[in-house]
Structure 1
Amino acid sequence: MIGIGGMGSATLWHLARRGQRVLGIDRFDLGHSMGSSHGLNRIIRLAYFEHPNYVPLLRRAYELWREAEQQTREQLLFITGGIDAGTQDSRIVQGALTACREHDLAHEVFTARETARRFPGYKLPDHYAVVFQPEAGFVASERAILAHASLAVSAGAELHGREKVVTIEPANGRVLIVTDQDRYEAGQVVVSAGGWISDLIPALRSTAVPERQVLGWFLPRKPEFFRPDVFPVSNIESEVGHFYQFPTWGIPGFKIGLYHHFHETGHADELSREPTPADEEALRKGIRHMFPDADGPTLRLATCLFTNTPDEHFVIDILPGAPEVVVASPCSGHGFKFASVIGEALADLATTGSSKLDLSLFAMKRFEGASEASLGAG
């Protein structure tokens, strides 16, 4: 297993609990802040505006998050309800409604004023429509990685941090993994390297593009409006950008992010990890536009990475021409909520070559030129 982040840690657990001999390798520390899963938490939601085919995977993801909670005796999944909002004809509103109707999800549709009466932290423009789905919430992402990693170790997995994979060499049903410290031979390798995945899988070089993101936590002027029991998580397509929000949790501040932020792309090693005043101002535009009671002092800013495909759907597949290699991610900024179920799917692919879960949306063949297996240095 290359990469012990959200997807990698879950895959290690699923493989180890099946009795597989498994090794996980990460170039950074376990639970590091260089990738895509730090910053305390990530949204989970069933009313999936991106595509209704995600909903069955989400239902299984909820089951597996709760199973991990039972195994670790630690809460990882927090239910707050969730809002998808924008103009009536926006992609977010129409996509959420399509997912709810196709999969018979409980939901309500509110006006902006009805939303403000029920959830006073929200001050949306009057012309916005709001889809509320009560089962949404967030996953404690940093805790979840460590929980999956601990479960994997308890089931017999071996984990190595601070070890960089240099090459992957598949041949004749085996694969050689060369790192900066050692060489390992295995029957299968699962590559879930996030923003560095194209270093190891060059076939994804033009379709797995790292992008710099910034998250912010701000001290609300009215903290009582932003507690988890009165403030649902949300995705909002607004005139000033697509923003996503969380209630106060862990840090005593309202958390907000701007999807695609400044559209800054490049190699994962070269993107700046230092937040700037311009980053803060971009987030405050969303706060002032829709959450004025949260427009207090800055508590924390943090950068993370998206790794985007052109269609913003995942890559979950066996590498064409190299059946010894399973490829996982990039997840285009909306993948962590699926980590529990993608870990199960990757374990299926690595052990049997197929999965009972429908992964057709995530096949590599949808990208031109992906049919040729290509591996390289990283």
Structure 2
Amino acid sequence: MMKSFDTIVIGIGGMGSATLWHLARRGQKVLGIERFDLGHSMGSSHGLNRIIRLAYFEHPNYVPLLRRAYELWREAEQLTREQLLFVTGGIDAGTEDSQIVQGALMACREHDLAHEVLTARETTQRFPGYKLPDHYAIVFQPEAGFVASERAILAHVSLAVAAGAEIHGREKVIAIEPANGRVVVVTDKDRYEAGRVVVSAGGWISDLIPALTTKAVPERQVLGWFLPQKPDLFRPEVFPVSNIKSEVGHFYQFPTWGIPGFKIGLYHHFHETGHADELSREPTPADEEALRKGIRYMFPDADGPTLRLATCLFTNTPDEHFVIDTLPGAPEVVVASPCSGHGFKFASVIGEILADLATTGASKLDLSLFNMKRFEETSAVLE
């Protein structure tokens, strides 16, 4: 007889692990299925940490979700007795008329967020690791920082298991078959049924949701850690996280943590897209040089030996906003992500939202920015 569950969660990364916990804590009989190992490095959430910030330049509608995300990260910390959220302050910088600066200011003003507007000289005086061009405007957010992403996934998994969740690693989902108000999930090992299925498969989501084939495009990214020439300038106490739209690229930065190196990434690294199984996970000298270009331009005191390079995936929508919705024509299927490279900070609250959608069909938070109907393929069904 086929094993039955209230909800099955496909993909136990940032979003899926949080969803599994929120469902299990509500007393649901839940199954989580992960095609790789738990905490693997094939997707979007490895590399130690991810930035979290309230002054969201992408759109002010994200701010209420972020406020709830902070609350839930703190709750997970209390329950696991492990720090997951580290507040360092954060910087958004670029030319004064850039979207990154104006968008951050709009979010701050609309939601009454604490912030300061600094000059490049004032920024260097306060945070000497930063050497930004004189014509840049800088928005400083005291509540920004980073989430320990790898720890956070395992923390959510541990909480879910403690609440009764069942989890299968190294099991690949082959098909999702909704029928008569329930869903059958077919894997390379078994078949299961459930009242609802949450698909949070990251870079592989279009394999299971064909309507997203052209709307959820995996992109290769590379992260780098470099030993600073002046290590004291890049400690978490004196170096805030940052997003900087510069003349040499849009870079994002972290202080030294976990690995004794300054961490940097370049948004839309080389614009390399393709199927998630086909994108190279091996960093190259060209990848390193692209990151060093940003270091030399803005962080010259961090231009030391390479400690580590790692690849990860963005899965981008055309407008770079998330997908959080039930599948048109199949409300038993809840679709989560792709998050276009800026989603992990929301994992705690998206897990709660997805649990709401799976159990009640609605969320108290505004999800209008994330519906699937905004795409051309409005008649999406499983094929």
Give the TM-score category using the shorter length.
over 0.9
Helix, strand or coil: the match of 2:376? coil
Aligned twin of 2:149: 141
Alignment counterpart, residue 101 of structure 1, candidates 93, 109, 126: 109
Give yes or no for the alignment of 1:230 onto 2:238: yes
Give yes or no for the alignment of 1:339 onto 2:347: yes
Could you tell me how far apart the structure 2 residues matched to 1:370 and 1:71 are?
Answer: 41
Equivalences for 1:1-378 in 2 at 5 Å? 1-375=9-383
Question: How far off is 1:120 after superposition?
Answer: 0.1
Helix, strand or coil: the match of 1:48? coil
Asked if 2 retains the 8 angstrom alpha-carbon contact of 1:204 and 1:370, the reply is: no
Per the normalisation by structure 1, the TM-score is 0.99
Helix, strand or coil: the match of 1:185? strand
Amino acid at match of 1:346: L
Amino acid at match of 1:77: L
Could you tell me how far apart the structure 1 residues matched to 2:331 and 2:63 are?
Answer: 28
Question: How far off is 1:357 after superposition?
Answer: 1.0
Question: How far off is 1:159 after superposition?
Answer: 0.3
Could you tell me how far apart the structure 2 residues matched to 1:41 and 1:219 are?
Answer: 17
Runs (4+) of structure 1 exceeding 4 A deviation are none
Question: How far off is 1:372 after superposition?
Answer: 2.5
Aligned twin of 2:5: none
Helix, strand or coil: the match of 2:330? coil
Could you tell me how far apart the structure 2 residues matched to 1:305 and 1:247 are?
Answer: 22
Asked if 2 retains the 8 angstrom alpha-carbon contact of 1:39 and 1:302, the reply is: yes
Asked if 2 retains the 8 angstrom alpha-carbon contact of 1:233 and 1:246, the reply is: yes
Helix, strand or coil: the match of 1:100? helix
Per the normalisation by structure 2, the TM-score is 0.98
Could you tell me how far apart the structure 1 residues matched to 2:242 and 2:70 are?
Answer: 18
Question: How far off is 1:328 after superposition?
Answer: 0.1
Could you tell me how far apart the structure 1 residues matched to 2:166 and 2:147 are?
Answer: 25
Could you tell me how far apart the structure 1 residues matched to 2:66 and 2:147 are?
Answer: 12
Amino acid at match of 2:168: H
Cα offsets for 1:267-308 (capped at 9, x unmatched): 000000000000000000000000000000000000000000
Could you tell me how far apart the structure 2 residues matched to 1:288 and 1:98 are?
Answer: 30
Cα offsets for 1:55-104 (capped at 9, x unmatched): 00000000000000000000000000000000000010000000000000
Could you tell me how far apart the structure 1 residues matched to 2:12 and 2:179 are?
Answer: 24
Amino acid at match of 1:218: F
Asked if 2 retains the 8 angstrom alpha-carbon contact of 1:216 and 1:280, the reply is: yes
Helix, strand or coil: the match of 1:324? strand
Q: Provide the identity percentage.
A: 89
Could you tell me how far apart the structure 1 residues matched to 2:123 and 2:220 are?
Answer: 32
Amino acid at match of 1:312: E
Could you tell me how far apart the structure 1 residues matched to 2:382 and 2:176 are?
Answer: 10
Could you tell me how far apart the structure 1 residues matched to 2:374 and 2:380 are?
Answer: 13
Question: How far off is 1:339 after superposition?
Answer: 0.1
Question: How far off is 1:370 after superposition?
Answer: 3.2
Helix, strand or coil: the match of 2:10? coil
Question: How far off is 1:369 after superposition?
Answer: 1.1
Cα offsets for 1:333-369 (capped at 9, x unmatched): 0000000000000000000111111111000000001
Could you tell me how far apart the structure 2 residues matched to 1:182 and 1:372 are?
Answer: 26
Could you tell me how far apart the structure 2 residues matched to 1:231 and 1:323 are?
Answer: 45
Amino acid at match of 1:332: S
Mark the runs of 5 or more structure 2 residues left unpaired by the alignment.
1-8
Could you tell me how far apart the structure 2 residues matched to 1:15 and 1:4 are?
Answer: 13
Amino acid at match of 2:365: L
Mark the runs of 5 or more structure 1 residues left unpaired by the alignment.
none
Amino acid at match of 1:215: L
Question: How far off is 1:373 after superposition?
Answer: 1.1
